[in-house]
């Protein structure tokens, strides 16, 4: 019998989303090197921070305090990185949840990516370029 998906209602749901998403990131050839270079093995700390971040955005828990944009500006990211991040995040949400908060999670992720791309000067229509 197929398990019934529900909406993101609790911090346990957010934790499941974050842990499932970052498991995919850690197995992704494009994204893992970016994260691994910054996190340097402290995945537990990063995952806790991301649960606080997403529970603040989705459940209004006010657990996250910080400014994520300045931490991401120095990273060498391209449109391809953001597209993969959005794809994996949306895929994870859809696999695990259904409902208004789940849809909000995908919209917020898209908005975050759009803001970060704009801050980094990455055009929405930029053609992905191979590193020279």
CATH number at residue 86: 1.10.490.10
Is the pTM of the predicted complex or chain greater than 0.75?
A: yes
Is residue 130 included in any domain, yes or no?
no
Question: pLDDT digits over 78-129, tens only?
Answer: 999 999 999 999 999 999 999 999 999 999 999 999 999 999 998 765 444 4
Give how many domains the chain has, as a whole number.
1
Exposed (0-12), middle (13-18) or buried (19+): which is 130, by Cβ within 10 Å?
A: exposed
In a domain, 74, yes or no: yes
> Left (φ > 0), alpha (ψ -120 to 50) or beta: where does 131 sit?
beta
Specify if 32 maps to a domain. yes
Identify the domain containing residue 106 by its residue range. 11-120
Is residue 3 in a domain?
no
Token pair of 123 as six digits: 């055009």
Per-residue model confidence (pLDDT) at position 68: 85
- Asked if residue 55 belongs to a domain, the reply is yes
Q: What number of other Cβ atoms are within 10 A of residue 71's Cβ?
A: 10
């Amino acid at each position: 019998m197929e398990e019934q998906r529900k909406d993101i209602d609790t911090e346990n749901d957010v934790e499941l989303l974050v842990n499932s998403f970052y498991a995919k990131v850690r197995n992704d050839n494009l994204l893992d090197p970016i994260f691994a270079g910054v996190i340097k093995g402290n995945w537990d700390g990063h995952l806790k921070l991301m649960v606080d971040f997403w529970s603040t955005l989705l459940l209004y828990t006010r657990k996250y305090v910080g400014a994520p944009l300045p931490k991401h500006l120095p990273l060498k990211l391209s449109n391809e990185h953001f597209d993969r991040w959005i794809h994996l995040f949306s895929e994870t949400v859809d696999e695990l949840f259904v409902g208004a908060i789940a849809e909000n999670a995908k919209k917020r992720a898209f908005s975050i990516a759009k803001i970060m791309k704009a801050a980094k000067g990455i055009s929405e229509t930029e053609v992905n370029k191979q590193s020279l």
